A and B are shown apart, each in its own frame.
Chain A
Amino acid sequence: MNLRAIGCNFRTAPVDMREKLAFDPAKQEKAVVDLSSRFGCEVVLLSTCNRVELYVARQPGEQPFDAGLAAEFLGEIHSVPAAQVGPLLYEHADEAAVQHLARVASSLDSLVVGEGQIAGQMKQAFEFAHKLGTTGPMLNALLAHSLRVAKRVRTETGISAGHVSVSSVAVDYVRQVFDHFRDKTILVIGAGKMARLTLKHLEALQPGKILVTNRSPEKAAEVAAMCGGQAIPWNQLDDALAKADIALSTTGAGEPIMPRKRFVEKVLPYRGTRTLVVLDIAVPRDFDPAIHDGDRVCLFNIDDLARVRQQTIGERQKAVAPAEAIIAVEVKKFTEDWNRRKSGPAIQQLRTKFDRVRAEVLGPLLDKLNGKLTPADREYIEGAFRLLQNKLLHAPIAALQEASKEGESRKLVEAMQKLFNLNG
């Protein structure tokens, strides 16, 4: 194996340098093709907002592609001095590179552990390189392995469970209460940036109706137009709440706009048994927390959502150790399989050669004894020769397989080829 994973990420490079080193598709195509043809190697380039990494595989015995060459190459492509790029780069070789890819794909190396995008981004990067013809047996096998490990990690450790953005956590809560949304009404109270952001997540649920209210009717109309909703006057807030199934409140009011007394008297009696989910992400809070009962009214304010976010991050951290254990096992398995694959042809050559020699010796012998042997005798002699061959080959094949596991089979293969004249 002659594999290197070289790059920089959010830990090693500040954002301004990551911006400078990032690749758009055109630049990425040029870089991948250029690097592959210049060094005669398999190349994949992964460029996301948090990392730029090169995965380079060369033939065993060739000079490995190292961080120094990578710094020069990246500097040249982006017109940045290599001396600035070099200190930002890390380098993982062979088995460590396999492990690094598995960790990246499993999002253990991500800014937010357990985030779900990186495996897809890695797949895209490999497909991009594959189309350009810069991947080969090593990197193709490595991608399949990394994605498989990532899937196993996700399934078995639950590292990607839950969400960590406040808006997504809010949607998770809504989904715990409601099953379908085509008959639901969302009421947006306030028209600030946070309202728009969270509304985008809620819109994905495809609600039946969106109502928007704000002290400023113009702003309400603006948000309503943006989401295909309906603006309603601020003084109809109680009526709108009585009709709503989900209320998203983000006003900048100095004190609660919906005290418990007002809610109990002017909203609750007109709602029947329908459950209302209130997502109060305003600071200070818009709704009195006392209205929450977990049955008819489920209120979640910014503190609740932030707490869940922290809990989710904590849960994901608990999954890191089991995930690392899975990766360690899978990396070992991949390395052994790969090395065995490399020694496989030599073992096959050895067997073919001995089969041929056995046939050359046994054929004339059986011809000479023709007519003097019963079928049982003939079978016995053939079996004895096969047994002899197997006994002779057992030790060299076992040694080759053992060396393959350690990744040190190359010299042994060469020795066997010479000793048994396998290339002849």
Chain B
Amino acid sequence: MPVSLPNVSLACFGLSYLLAFALELARVRWPRPSLRVAGLVLGAAGLFAHTLFLIIRQPTPASAYGALLAVAWVLAIFYLYGSLHHAKQAWAVFVLPVILGLVVMAFASFSTDENHDHSLDFGTRVWGAIHGLFVLSAAVGVSVGAVASTMYLIQARRLRMKLLPLGKMKMLSLERLEGMNRRAVNLAFPLLTVGLLLGAVLLRHYHDFADNWLSVKFLGTVGLWVVFLVLTYLRYAVTLPGRRLAMLTIAAFVLMLLVLIAGHPFVKGDSA
């Protein structure tokens, strides 16, 4: 008997996240429990639809479309977890725009599974999946670091301007945000390193390395790795102030987005 799959589209969870974001913004102005509950319900509904979508459509993470949606999915889990555990903090106000941005970018760079290179052998597929897992995990780390950095910059600005310490938008302390950023980057760096090395090996063995090493994807990933190296050096060797580290983390996030939307050598016809 054929199993009918629900007709989940990108708009389903995109709109759920958008509404959840609107409710979270409203909660900053009117801190009512009903708004929080409604926001969480919509966020959870969005995550559920997002999960169904990934299960049913199975977009390849090697494409911009699949990669952006996969990163957005992991961030959506972070968003719900953070919102449940930091009820009084404006966590969702910062994470949801990133998720929405990733979903919109995925929508804009729409490509179907048909673009996937089916000529690859099983071994390449397995190693490709491992490579993708590492790179996407690193991307999640950078995204979390970027969210923490944005919050850090806003919190630091509030302190610099000596604004109300407990204004309507409650945020984590500078120390906590700096710690989040540090942990996210420290985790993402080795993941990216392994992912990059695996990618280079795969490219060397199964593709025309000479044709691809100048691709935006490859150069961008190497560039991202260099930014991570610089970040680590500045944090531990030069002891750069938190504000500059936060700005550099956000720059790394922007570079990561470029890398994600760039065409992948394993995906034929994916636009760069």
Q: Is the Cβ of B175 less than 8 Å from the Cβ of A295?
A: no
**CB of B97 closer than 8 Å to a CB of A:** no
| Interface membership of B204, Cβ < 8 A | no
A-contact 0/1 string along B36-76, CB 8 Å cutoff:
00000000000000000000000000000000000000000
Closest A residue to B244 using CB positions: A295
- Contact yes or no, B173 A175, CB < 8 A: yes
Binds B, one of A117-125, A254-262, A308-316, A335-343: A308-316
User: Hey, which chain B residues are within 8 Å of A275, CB to CB?
Assistant: 174-175, 242
The yes or no answer to A29 lying at the interface (CB within 8 A) is no
Tell me the bound Cα distance from A162 to B163 in angstroms: 12
Contacting pair A308 B241 (CB below 8 A)? no
Q: Are A304 and B162 in contact (CB under 8 A)?
A: yes
CA distance A272 to B174 in the complex (A): 16
Q: Is the CB of B156 within 8 A of A294?
A: yes
Question: Number of contact residues on A: which range applies?
Answer: 20 to 34
Q: Scoring B residues 159 to 177 as 1 if CB is less than 8 Å from chain A, else 0, what string do you get?
A: 1111011101001111110
Measured between beta carbons, the chain A residues less than 8 angstroms from B243 are 295
A403 to B83 CA separation, bound complex (whole angstroms): 47
Contact A156 B32 (CB under 8 A): yes
Q: Does B101 contact A (CB under 8 A)?
A: no
Shortest distance from the beta carbon of A180 to any chain B beta carbon, whole Å: 7
CB distance from A159 to the nearest CB of B (A): 11
Residues in B with CB closer than 8 Å to A311 are 164
The answer, among A180, A296, A300, for a CB contact under 8 Å with B162, is A300
Is A291 an interface residue, CB under 8 A from the partner?
A: no
**Cα of A178 to Cα of B175 in the assembled complex, Å:** 5
Please name all residues of chain B whose beta carbon is closer than 8 Å to the beta carbon of A178 when the two chains form the complex: 173-175
Pick the contact of B175 from A180, A294, A312 — CB < 8 Å?
A180
- The verdict on A292 contacting chain B, using a C-beta distance below 8 Å, is yes
Q: Mark A10-38, 1 if CB is under 8 A from B, else 0.
A: 00000000000000000000000000000
Interface pair A273/B164, CB less than 8 Å apart: no
Determine if B30 is an interface residue (Cβ-Cβ < 8 Å): yes
Contacts of B207 in A (CB 8 A): none
Contacts of A155 in B (CB 8 A): 31-33
| Shortest distance from the beta carbon of B239 to any chain A beta carbon, whole Å | 5
Contact A175 B32 (CB under 8 A): no
Q: Are A294 and B164 in contact (CB under 8 A)?
A: no
Is A173's beta carbon under 8 Å from chain B? yes
B155 contacts chain A at the CB level, 8 A cutoff: yes
Is A355 an interface residue when CB atoms closer than 8 A count as contact? Answer: no
Would B165 and A175 count as touching, CB distance under 8 A? yes
A residues less than 8 Å from B30 (CB atoms): 156
A176 lies within 8 A of B33 (CB): no
Query: A residues within 8 A CB of B268?
Result: none
Instruction: State the CA gap A169–B165 with chains docked (Å).
Output: 8
Contact yes or no, A176 B174, CB < 8 A: yes
Question: Which residue of chain B has its CB nearest to the CB of A245?
Answer: B175
Measured between beta carbons, the chain B residues less than 8 angstroms from A344 are: none
Chain B neighbourhood of A116, CB < 8 A: none
Once the chains bind, are A294 and B32 in contact (CB under 8 Å)? no
Q: Which of B33, B156, B161, B171 contacts A295 (CB 8 A)?
A: B156
**A248-278 interface code vs B (CB 8 A; 1 in, 0 out):** 0000000000000000000000001101000
In the complex, 21 of the A-B residue pairs with CB atoms within 8 angstroms, ordered by the A residue number, are A155-B31, A155-B32, A156-B30, A156-B32, A158-B168, A161-B166, A162-B164, A177-B173, A177-B175, A179-B172, A179-B176, A275-B174, A275-B175, A294-B157, A294-B159, A295-B241, A298-B159, A304-B162, A308-B164, A308-B165, A311-B164
List 10 tightest A-B contacts by C-beta distance, closest first: A294-B160, A172-B165, A179-B176, A294-B159, A179-B173, A179-B175, A273-B239, A162-B166, A295-B243, A178-B175
Known: A161-B166, A175-B165, A292-B160. 15 other contacts (CB 8 A): A155-B31, A155-B33, A173-B159, A177-B174, A179-B175, A179-B179, A273-B241, A292-B162, A294-B157, A294-B161, A295-B159, A295-B243, A308-B162, A308-B164, A308-B165
